């Protein structure tokens, strides 16, 4: 029986695509569903390209109902992977999938984490702080933004001439290289 992953994303979904590519022909793991809070998110097109079903939801459905949990359970989802998903995960979802929700953050936590710290907000804060290193953190999700247990961190050097685009590029290279590999390792350990 295949292990099944659900991906939550709010935007373009480049990490989601790397996961889709990684697991495309895997006989043991499949991406069962892509979920988004943004009906205009490009991740929907990426999911369609891989013939992966998707689901768009609003705040009411996510926070006031158990519909998302029912959907995940009906699909027999084993692991939830956040790939640029911007909303705080509700307690009922965390309780239903304890230790089975994973996120990637574009900085070395605990620095530059928390509410509102995503995408360019993180990279601009890193530049404003004149950091000499940037990086990524893969971590388990709890009820607070970016506070769950760390799984993996990787760093890159920030040169003094690096602009926002260079820092984003360096970070994304690390994300695309490591996230599929880390998720692969986590899902292999989950018992069906």
Minimal CA–CA distance to 92: which of 70, 115, 114, 116? Answer: 70
121 flagged as catalytic:
no
Q: Active-site residue among 55, 105, 123, 139? A: 105
Minimal CA–CA distance to 136: which of 162, 168, 165? Answer: 168
Helices (H), the chain: 14-23, 43-49, 59-64, 67-74, 91-96, 119-128, 164-189
Instruction: Report how far residue 108's alpha carbon sits from residue 111's, in angstroms, rounded to the nearest whole number.
Output: 6
Would you name the residues annotated as active-site residues? 105
């Amino acid at each position: 029986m295949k292990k099944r992953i659900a991906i939550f994303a709010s935007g373009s979904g480049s990490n989601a695509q790397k996961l889709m590519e990684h697991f495309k022909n895997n006989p043991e793991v499949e991406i069962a569903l892509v979920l988004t809070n943004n009906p205009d998110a490009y991740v929907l097109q990426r999911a369609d390209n891989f013939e992966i079903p998707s689901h768009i939801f609003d705040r009411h459905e996510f926070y006031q109902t158990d519909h998302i949990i029912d959907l995940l359970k009906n699909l027999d989802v084993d692991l939830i992977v956040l790939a640029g998903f911007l909303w705080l995960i509700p307690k009922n979802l965390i309780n239903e999938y304890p230790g089975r929700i994973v996120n990637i953050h574009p900085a070395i936590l605990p620095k530059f984490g928390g509410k509102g710290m995503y995408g360019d907000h993180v990279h601009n804060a890193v530049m404003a702080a004149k950091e000499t290193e940037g990086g990524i953190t893969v971590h388990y999700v709890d009820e607070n933004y970016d506070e769950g247990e760390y799984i993996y961190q990787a760093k890159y050097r920030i040169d003094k001439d690096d602009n926002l685009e260079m820092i984003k590029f360096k970070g994304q290279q690390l994300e695309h290289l490591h996230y599929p590999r880390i998720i692969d390792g986590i899902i292999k350990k989950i018992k069906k």
